[in-house]
Structure 1
Amino acid sequence: MFVFGSYVSTSYVEGQSDIDIAIYTEDFDLYKRISVYLEDYFAEKRIESDIFYIDLTMEAPVYCAPLKSKVQFTDYYPEKLVGFGERCQHKLEPLKEKEPVNVMRVGDMLQFMKSCAERIVQKSEQYIKADDVEIQMDCIDIVTAYRELKKCIWYNGSAKESLLEGFLKN
């Protein structure tokens, strides 16, 4: 069992902070029993708790903090966890190294989208009204404007995504 987070640091605030505990066992039923016991214990003490299972089948950066914690309930630290922790840390490194491309402030992003939308509307109306092939060909740049908008990437706080996808989600 690993205790980590604010509870083991100077940033713990009684009544506001929680205790984070990660449990590794090869017996999932044992994990469930320990987890229920700890949840009940901390609830009785009026301490919020986050208790989770260290699943060796899912290498993820979320396990880095508990596996690096200096606070452990036992000396038991199987070799499997050493390699697992290293692989989880390796998955974290690319997240730290990647910088978002074409980062835009929200106001700039909205202005850019507005100008693209206005241009698309303007060119679409011209295309519909025009009988001249050259004017219609000139209006084809609406496709280019859309492609540029699709290429624009923003950072939503946890991952890079297309500006359009982010705008539609939010």
Structure 2
Amino acid sequence: MERGLKMWYVTCILLLTYVQSPVHGEQQVPCYFIFGDSLVDNGNNNGLATRAKANFSPYGIDFPYGPTGRFCNGRTMADIIAKLLGFENYVPSFAIASGQDILKGVNYASTAARIRSESGQQMGARISMDAQLGNHLTTVSRIAAIFRDNNATGNYLSKSICSVGMGNNDYSNNYFMP
């Protein structure tokens, strides 16, 4: 029974990963905010003093722009979700998001990130969950400055979607380390 559930889970993940949406309809949400670790980091660690970087080959060999800071050879799950939500472009990383770009969303994820701020120091700099939430507050302030109306800002953000994927580093890199 357990093996069957695992196979079903793997099949669902593979389908979500490789199935392209044949429908090119309207964007489902105004913006998409992404919090997480290496599974969804799209370049936030590139400018940090850390060993946890992926902005060099062979990373990105199947990505149209080459290495970007994603810890994979192509798109992350967040990229795929954004595409399925109807976004035409990739959600920018907080490190490079500016101006009107933030109205489509921001990716705050950081490789080696932890829920606990004090965890993971052995890798060097990383953006913990607390820091990612602080970056989100900065983005919300910038969006409010664009709209110049708190009600309009609140209405816009209430239609947005967020994804959070973090915690495995807290467990594996603390529990298994001496």
For normalisation by structure 2, the TM-score amounts to 0.18
The answer to which structure has the higher strand fraction is 1
- Identify which of structures 1 and 2 has the higher relative contact order when contacts are C-alpha pairs closer than 8 Å and 6+ apart: 2
The answer to which structure has the higher helix fraction is 1
